[in-house]
């Protein structure tokens, strides 16, 4: 196993209706959200079938913690991000935390997440597919078609992106991106 990664999320605060998308129920986003909200609505999706039941313009926030990298192929990631764009309300915010994995590399990382003074979660992140790529730059480029990047960090093999739903007068531009006109 490679070096241990520590992510400090003590300062994170989420407000509004939230969609938490994860492939493993690590509870990181949920625990942060419930610490800062007394009356809250968090929907948790852990597979792509769960996305079929979500109404458009339903959420203020969408968060993915160590999950975006589980989506194979750039085209699938673009389609997925388009769905998130549709689920978010005007001005909605999309948060992504993930490991910066480039082609030809494998990952076997211990990730410790500090949620509060008394809560630390440890996650073992394994990705042995050398053909799978989920780098910071690639993710940022995919998001740029739908969102305005308002904050980003990439440090010690972990990236964080905070992006706001882009207001578009010409929805066709997004449709053209998805249909392949831009590829």
SS3 track for 69-83: HHCCCHHHHHHHHHH
Q: What is the pTM of this model?
A: 0.83
pLDDT digits (tens, 9 = 90+) for 125-159: 888 988 888 899 999 999 999 999 999 999 888 99
Say how many CA atoms lie within 13 Å of 7 toward its Cβ: 26
- pLDDT at residue 16 above 80? yes
The pLDDT-based confidence of 183 (bands split at 50, 70, 90) is: very low
- Identify whether the C-beta of residue 154 lies closer than 8 Å to the C-beta of residue 136: yes
- Residue 166 CB neighbour total at 10 angstroms: 15
On whether the 13-101+133-179 domain is CATH 3.40.50.150, my answer is yes
Tell me which of 96 and 13 has the higher pLDDT: 96
Q: Among 14-18, 29-33, 92-96, where is mean pLDDT lowest?
A: 29-33
pLDDT digits (tens, 9 = 90+) for 20-64: 887 665 778 888 887 777 776 666 666 666 666 788 888 999 999
């Amino acid at each position: 196993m490679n070096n241990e990664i520590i992510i400090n999320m003590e300062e994170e605060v989420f407000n509004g209706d939230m969609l938490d998308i994860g492939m493993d129920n690590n509870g990181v986003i949920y625990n942060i959200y419930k610490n800062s909200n007394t009356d809250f609505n968090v929907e948790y999706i852990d597979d792509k079938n769960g996305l079929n039941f979500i109404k458009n313009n339903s959420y203020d926030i969408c968060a993915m913690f160590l999950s975006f990298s589980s989506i194979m192929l750039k085209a699938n990631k673009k389609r997925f991000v388009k769905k998130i764009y549709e689920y978010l309300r005007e001005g909605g915010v999309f948060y992504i935390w993930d490991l910066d994995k480039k082609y030809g590399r494998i990952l076997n990382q211990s990730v410790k997440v500090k949620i509060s003074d008394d809560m630390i979660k440890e996650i073992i992140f394994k990705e042995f597919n050398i053909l799978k790529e989920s780098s910071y730059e690639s993710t940022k480029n995919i998001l740029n078609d739908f969102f305005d990047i308002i904050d980003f960090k990439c440090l010690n093999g972990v990236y964080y992106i905070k992006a706001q739903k882009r207001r578009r007068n010409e929805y066709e531009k997004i449709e053209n991106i998805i249909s392949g006109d831009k590829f």
